[in-house]
Amino acid sequence: MRQPREIVSRTVRLPQVSGLTLDNARLMLRNTGIEAGAVRLRYAEAYRPEDEVIEQRPPAGSLVPVDDPVELIVSRRSLLHHLPQVYQKSDRNGGHFLREFLWVFDHIFGDLQRRLDRLHTYFDPLESPQEFLSWLAGWVALAIDQDWPEAKQRKLIRQAIDMYGLRGTVRGLKLFLSIFTGIEPKITENEWPYDGFRVGVTVIGVDSIILSPVDLAHSFVVEMTDFGDLEDAMILKLHEIILMEKPAHTAYCLLFPKSEELANPDGYVIGFTPLGVEEARMARGPVSTPDEDSDDTE
């Protein structure tokens, strides 16, 4: 009977993390392929900066499976130093039961204390953890989409207060769209790009658009210049931003650069070529006249 094949874990070569801070060491191990749950910590007192890795097991350069534990010896000041001096004395053999016992609480509350030490970074949009950005945006009453790029979320949160003073203005809408897209749009007030369907004027397939009544006094056009490739998701996000930032009583039209192929079609193209006698003749091709037929016969 054929024996099942044994599944072998993927192996990686451990990098040198001794001498790094604990956060940087965890980041380097995660980039190597070792998950955070496989990293075990053991605190020890040493004449080194706090939270610095003073030893790693296995040593750097070792090949280990990605699911095997990696132990990091981290420098840390014991909680024993917070007790009166009488409790800090070692026994006759140089051991200290109370110090070893207090390491248990260091391992339990070490990560919590480290977060509290970095609490001020949670309120900085440029340093706050990604999972905290939605909460931080809520504190400044900014509605952001989780699908937006992280760098743009941070920049919008940072400038949210400044944008509130410009909300509902052309300058404010330009600033918001510029931060999100990296391109400053062209905004024109009291204009509309289409005249609607008018008999004798409208060219079918080119500008044959049926519109509801538009008040030019409360309308504007947003033109995104040099926007590049367009995706449906990006267009929807731009509409959401404009609807969120524009005055409620206004109407808007969002325009993008026209493709050269659509702007200058060759020949008769359904939906783009105007219908008429001359265009129909061009679609059929050149038509010979009776004189030209007689010349060919001769």
* Domain assignments of the chain as residue spans, ordered by start: 11-122, 165-257, 262-297
DSSP 247-298: -TT-EEEEE-PPPHHHHS--S--TTTSPPSHHHHHHHH-----HHHHHHHH-
Q: Which helix (H) or strand (E) holds 180?
A: helix 170-181
pLDDT, one tens digit for every residue, the chain (298 residues): 565 555 556 888 888 999 898 888 888 888 888 877 788 888 888 888 888 899 998 888 888 888 888 889 888 888 888 888 877 777 777 777 888 888 888 878 877 777 787 788 888 888 888 888 888 888 887 777 777 788 888 888 888 888 888 888 888 888 888 888 888 888 888 888 776 665 555 666 655 566 667 788 888 888 887 766 677 778 888 888 888 888 888 888 888 877 555 444 454 444 555 545 444 444 445 544 445 444 544 4
Radius of gyration of the chain (CA): 35
pLDDT score at 43: 87
The structure tokens 């919008």 sit at: 156
One of 3.30.420.40, 3.40.50.620, 3.30.10.20, 3.40.50.450 is the CATH number of 11-122, namely 3.30.10.20
Q: What is the dihedral of CA 230, 172, 122, 151, to 10 degrees?
A: 20
- Of 120, 122, 138, nearest to 130 by C-alpha is 122
CA–CA separation, 206 and 193 (whole Å): 13
> Cα–Cα distance between 75 and 52 in angstroms, integer?
5
Q: Say whether pTM exceeds 0.95.
A: no
